[in-house]
Copies of this chain bind each other. A is one copy, B any other.
Amino acid sequence: VTEAGSLSLIPIRGLPEVQPEDDLSVLLDQALKSSADVKLCDGDVLVVTQKIVSKAENRYVNLASIEPGIPARDLAQQCRKDPRIVELVLRESREVLRVAPQSVIVRHRLGWVMANAGIDQSNLPKGDERVLLLPEDPDASAVRLRRQLQQRYGLKLAVLISDSFGRPWRLGSVGVCIGCAGLRPLQDLRGTPDLHQRSLQNTLVALADQLCAAAAIISGEAAQAVPMVLVRGLSADCFGEGHTARELQRPYEQDLFR
């Protein structure tokens, strides 16, 4: 994937806490200007956490404004969550797949299978009754931020919006991609001859998810969170126009674990 050399994951430090209506490209520019050693380069991939995109897009919902319906109340009892949050989970979802303590596994309206429709209560001030929904359309958010950055810097870049998902069978969350611009999220190595010219099996690689997982190693989730990470060193064939993170979604009829 990469040119001869290695791949670098570079944290963007010094970003302020993101407020509604903030322009992330401006915040990034300010952070870069205050840092002596990080500059954007041609071919960089900027990985941005969903959380700051949602904050900038003001995807807050005040729980006091939510009246849970009967399905949400029933489900809230099963999973022991705030019925108002469960109401929002249901509004944000197409389908409920599983219910467990504190977790409702849903197919989100955007198509992602995830816990609690990605609704986030962390990093909000105590007593604050707001929660944060996923961006309205993370692929569109990625396209917009990429356009702003490419215009500002005159560089060829890609932008990924990452989230942190739990998984069946394995403990711990990993970074995954939910928004993509300028990069092919899937690498198709089928047909690439391997060492002995036998066709490769299992060779569709989720490059965008692996990039978001890599970025999450340094972005962390706590006080020192670094919500923007640069990935530098990807080869030119990883980039491409018109792709979306939704290409990472397994078609419903191929889904063995509904």
Interface membership of chain A positions 222-251, coded 1 if the CB is closer than 8 angstroms to chain B and 0 otherwise: 110100000000100000000000011110
- Knowing A121-B198, A210-B174 are in contact, say whether A6-B10 is a contact too (CB < 8 A): yes
User: Which residues of the partner chain B approach A1 to less than 8 Å between Cβ atoms?
Assistant: 217-218, 220
A115 / chain B contacts, CB cutoff of 8 Å: 202
A residues bordering B, Cβ < 8 Å?
1-2, 5-11, 17, 98, 100, 102, 105, 112-113, 115, 120-126, 128, 164, 166-176, 185-187, 189, 192-207, 209-211, 213-214, 216-218, 220-223, 225, 234, 247-250, 254-257
Complex CA distance for A168 and B168, rounded to whole angstroms: 8
Q: What CA separation (Å) do A240 and B27 show in the bound complex? A: 37
Chain B residue, CB-CB nearest to A167: B167
The contact sample of 11 A-B pairs, CB cut-off 8 A, is A7-B217, A122-B200, A122-B202, A122-B203, A128-B196, A168-B255, A171-B186, A172-B206, A173-B202, A192-B223, A205-B216
- Judge whether B192 and A222 touch: CB under 8 Å: yes
Q: Which residue of B lies closest to A100 (CB)?
A: B256
A202 touches B164 (CB 8 A): yes
Q: Least Cβ distance of A98 to chain B in Å?
A: 4
